[in-house]
Amino acid sequence: MLKKSTLAATLIGLSVMMAAGTIDAASKTHTANDNDTFWKLSKQYNVPLDVLLKANPTINPLNIYDGLKISIPATEDKPASQTQAESSQALKTTTAVQSVTAMNGKEYAFTKTLQVQATAYTAAAAENGGWAGLDYFGNKLKVGTVAVDPKMIPLGTKLYVTGYDYNGLPKGGMIATATDVGGSIKGNRIDIFVPGSSSSAKAFGIQKVKVYVLK
């Protein structure tokens, strides 16, 4: 039979081990490869992008390299009452969702529309803080990349942009994604990536466009 002191020590040890196991289960460490981006990891681990960025404040999103250790925070379990409340709110939101038919003929559900001022930028290093050809997450700039103010439009949001007039972009409207930011892009503004030279992008000027925030 174990003495009381020995039994107590054993129980304490087991409690510590169980607590440690809980901590380990609550978070993960991802070993990056050269093709990883925070956006991809957010989708892979089903962790909100802003949560993932806050968990790794010392990591430059444009400098993710092979072997880099990235902390993957756990998503917390929510109380049943909170889940029910969110479900009820989601139902209300769903009833308010509308749809728009894009120029490609497909119908997209959207939650709101924004009237914003749009400018254009290219892959030139001078326009990207030295990171030529890359968006905020290290993805290659392409038609459909849009820089936003994250306080106005969350990064990663799918958009349908209409109302612009520029030969280097799809006629009538385009499906885009908010994956970039800019020092001068604040509030009710977006910056649309366009192929070509900086001089041709300047010809875009400042245009008023309509942005559908897609569901």
Task: Please give the domain boundaries of the chain with CATH numbers for all domains.
Answer: 11-73 (3.10.350.10), 98-214 (2.40.40.10)
Count Cβ atoms within 10 A of the Cβ of residue 14 and give its class: 0-12 exposed, 13-18 middle, 19 or more buried.
exposed
Residue 107, pLDDT score: 93
Res 159 pLDDT > 90: yes
Confidence check: pLDDT of 210 > 50 = yes
Contact call for residues 160 and 190 (beta carbons, < 8 A): no
The tens digit of pLDDT for each residue in 7-43 reads 344 444 444 333 333 333 467 899 999 888 888 888 8
| Residue 194 predicted with pLDDT over 70 | yes
What share of the chain has pLDDT > 70, as a percent?
76
CB 112 within 8 A of CB 213: yes
How far apart CA 192 and CA 83 sit, in angstroms, is 37
Those residues whose C-beta lies under 8 Å from the C-beta of residue 148, and which sit 6 or more positions away, are 155, 157, 178, 180, 181, 185, 190, 191
pLDDT in tens, 68-83: 999 999 876 445 445 4
- In three-state secondary structure terms, 89 is helix
- Does the pLDDT value for residue 45 go beyond 70? yes
The overall average pLDDT reported for the chain is 80
Is the sign of the CA dihedral 58, 64, 69, 75 positive or negative?
positive
- pLDDT over threshold 60, residue 182: yes
